Structures are given as C-alpha cells and as structure tokens.
Amino acid sequence: MVTQSTGEYVAVRRIGDATVTLINDGIFDAIPLIPWMDAPEEDVRRAVPEADAGGRVGRSGMIVAHVRIGVASVLVDPGFGALPPESWLARELELRPTPGVQAGLAAAGIQPDQITHVVITHAHGDHFTGATLTCDGRRVPRYPRARYVLGRADWDGNPAREDPDSETSIHLGTLERAGLLDLVDGDCEVAPGVTFARGTRRVARPRCRARAVGRRELLSPGRPVPSSVRGRAPGVGHDGARYAGNDCLA
C-alpha cells in the first residue's frame, strides 16, 4: 500500500461557482514522448529539452479532476485504478503510484455513489480502467449512479472492441452493457456549467487541458507542446496496443 499525505497528491481549488479537486493518480518516470510524437524529432527535442537519449521524459503526473458545481458531481477521467505489477504502464513507463483516485476523492469527502457524471477524455487505458471494479466475481461500474461520457470515435472506431480481453472490452464494454455509456459528437454540455469540448489531442510532459467550468477554464498543471510539434498520438493501452482514437478533451 502506498502511503502519502493528502497534500502530496490532492489539491482543491474554488473557481467561480465550482469546487475543483485535482488528484494525482501516479507519476510516470519513463514516457517515450519523442517516439510517440508524429513530428520531427529535432522539433520535439527543442520543445522538450529534458528528454533523454531515448526520447523519454520523467516525472509526468496522471492528473484527474473532480468538479462540483450546483447539483452536478463530475469526475474528469477515472484514472487507471489498481494496476497489476506486470502491466505495461507500470513496467515500461516506470509508474510510481499514489494512494489513488478513490483515496483522493474520499479525502475530499466525495463518495462513489455521489458522482453524477464521469467524463472519459479519450480511450487510452490509463484514463478509463478505473471506471470499473470487480464485485462478487463480476465486473461492474465503479460509480453506479453516474453517466459515462465518451467521444463517439473512441468507441465506434476502436478495433479493440473486437478483442474480449482488451481493456476497451472489459471496462468500456461493461459501461456499455450496463446502459451507462453516452457517446457524444463534438461539444456537449455534460451538466450545467460543465462542457465536454472537442480539441486537439496533445502528448506533452505534462499535458495541458482546458476544461470548461461555467465561464472559466481550469488548466491542468503543465505546459502544452508548441503548435509546431503537436502530433496526433495513437491510443495506447496497458498492453501496448495502439489505435487512432478521438480528439476530444474535456
């Protein structure tokens, strides 16, 4: 079990009428950023000079956000949940886990059955495998009263759906079979004051995402890669499988 003080992986901010809780699900110490980018290596290295000889960068946090505004309780990405030690994320990306999303939510006084919406920004396994859990030997949604919002291209255009052992089938499939998965095209108001907005996917260290909250924007910590080196990264699951996914951010 990972032990950390709450202040090391949870931060709470008040933005207008919204209370925003940021939770670090873990830190990756070996992300192969340059090999993943669909851009000239020289341009990427100028933008990310800290990359090592193999094109890897470290100390990249996996940040999820919870937004409470009005009667809405919205989780932006459920994180990766409990990863087995042999997982691709833990092994190759050298993951250093924190106590995790559930512990962070609990520290902020948020219970799973209080979540009204879960926004999955895109179908990379580390962003959605925390959406389900095993209960009495079967896979069930972790947030039983929530609607789960996902860009349609990440479901309709995802060949991993054909593999019953893939993370997509196991986790997103569980949500779809439970009738809880809402597929969206373009911008969509998830709840009053919170908008799922279409944007350009970036792979950076760390990522910077604009999330609409009322009339303001919340920026996850980090800096974007300059427009000259932004690339469309393939979807990557815990097993290393890749596919071209959706371009939606929340």
Q: Residue 91 falls within a domain, yes or no?
A: yes
Q: Residue 243 falls within a domain, yes or no?
A: yes
Check residue 68 and give its pLDDT: 96
Q: Residue 115 falls within a domain, yes or no?
A: yes
Check residue 1 and give its pLDDT: 52
Question: What is the residue range of 231's domain?
Answer: 6-249
Q: Per residue of the chain (250 residues), what is the pLDDT tens digit?
A: 555 667 789 999 999 999 999 999 999 899 998 998 888 999 999 999 999 999 999 888 889 999 999 999 999 999 988 887 788 888 888 988 899 999 999 999 999 999 999 999 999 888 999 999 999 999 999 999 999 999 999 999 899 999 999 999 999 999 999 999 999 998 889 988 888 887 644 333 223 333 444 433 333 333 344 434 434 344 444 344 443 343 333 3
Q: How far is CA 89 from the centre of its chain?
A: 13
State which amino acid sits at residue 57: V
Which pLDDT tens digit goes with each residue over 3-12? Answer: 566 778 999 9
Check residue 166 and give its pLDDT: 93
Q: What is the dihedral sign for C-alpha 183, 188, 190, 195?
A: positive
* 185-188 own/partner pairs: CB under 8 Å, 24+ apart: 185/151, 185/152, 188/149
Strands 194-198 and 248-249: antiparallel
Check residue 3 and give its pLDDT: 56
Q: What are phi and psi of 155, to 5 degrees?
A: -110, -55
Q: Verify cis geometry, omega within 30 degrees of 0, for the bond prior to 206.
A: yes
- The secondary structure of residue 238, as a DSSP letter, is T
Check residue 199 and give its pLDDT: 62
Report which of 178, 195, 169 is spatially closest to residue 76, judged by C-alpha positions.
195
Report yes or no: 185 and 157 within 8 Å, Cβ to Cβ: no
Check residue 2 and give its pLDDT: 59
Check residue 248 and give its pLDDT: 35
Number of structural domains in the chain:
1
Q: Residue 13 falls within a domain, yes or no?
A: yes
Q: What is the CATH number of the domain that holds 84?
A: 3.60.15.10
Q: Residue 1 falls within a domain, yes or no?
A: no
